[in-house]
Amino acid sequence: MCTSFALKEKDGSYVYGRTIEFGRDLAEGLILIPRNYAYKGVGIDGTYGTGLNWNCKYAFVGTNMFGLDLLLDGMNEKGLSGGLLYLPNSADYQKPTADQGKNSIASFQMLVYALGNFATTDEVKVGFEKIFVNSAGLKEWNGVAKCHMTLHDAQGKSIVIEYLKGELVITDNPIGVMTNDPPMAWQLTNVGNFINLSPLEKDPLTIDGLTISAPSSGSGLHGLPGDFLSPSRFLRAFEYTLAAQKYASDLPKVELTWRLLNMFDIPPGSVMIPPGDPYAGGVSGWELTQVSCVADSKNLDYYVRNFKSLNIKKFDLMAHDLDAKTPKSFAIGDVTTYQTIQ
Q: Are 119 and 67 in contact (CB under 8 A)?
A: no
Is the per-residue pLDDT at 265 higher than 60?
Answer: yes
Is the per-residue pLDDT at 211 higher than 60?
Answer: yes
Q: What is the pLDDT of residue 334?
A: 87
Is the per-residue pLDDT at 60 higher than 60?
Answer: yes
pLDDT tens figures, 18-39: 999 987 788 899 999 999 999 9
Of the ranges 165-169, 321-325, 331-335, which one carries the lowest mean pLDDT score?
331-335
Is the per-residue pLDDT at 252 higher than 70?
Answer: yes
User: Which run of H or E residues covers position 240?
Assistant: helix 230-247
pLDDT tens figures, 91-122: 999 999 999 999 999 999 999 999 999 999 99
Q: What is the pLDDT of residue 10?
A: 83
% helix / strand / coil in the chain, to the nearest 5? 20, 30, 50
pLDDT confidence tier of residue 52, bands split at 50, 70 and 90:
very high
What mean pLDDT, rounded, does the chain reach? 93
Is the per-residue pLDDT at 209 higher than 60?
Answer: yes
How many Cβ atoms from other residues are within 10 Å of residue 194's Cβ? 14
Q: Are 308 and 20 in contact (CB under 8 A)?
A: no
Average confidence (pLDDT) over 227-231 = 95
pLDDT confidence tier of residue 287, bands split at 50, 70 and 90:
confident
Percent of the chain with pLDDT over 90: 81
For 290, phi and psi rounded to 5 degrees? -85, -40
Q: What is the pLDDT of residue 88?
A: 92
CB-based burial of residue 45 (10 Å sphere; 0-12 exposed, 13-18 middle, 19+ buried)?
exposed
Is the per-residue pLDDT at 280 higher than 80?
Answer: no
> What is the pTM for the complete model shown?
0.94
Is the per-residue pLDDT at 182 higher than 90?
Answer: yes
Average confidence (pLDDT) over 315-322 = 97
Cβ contacts of 340 within 8 Å, gap of 6 or more: none
CA atoms of 264 and 92, how far apart (whole Å): 27
Residue 309: name the closest of 294, 295, 297, 292 by CA: 292
Of the ranges 73-87, 224-238, 285-299, which one carries the lowest mean pLDDT score?
285-299
CA atoms of 77 and 24, how far apart (whole Å): 31
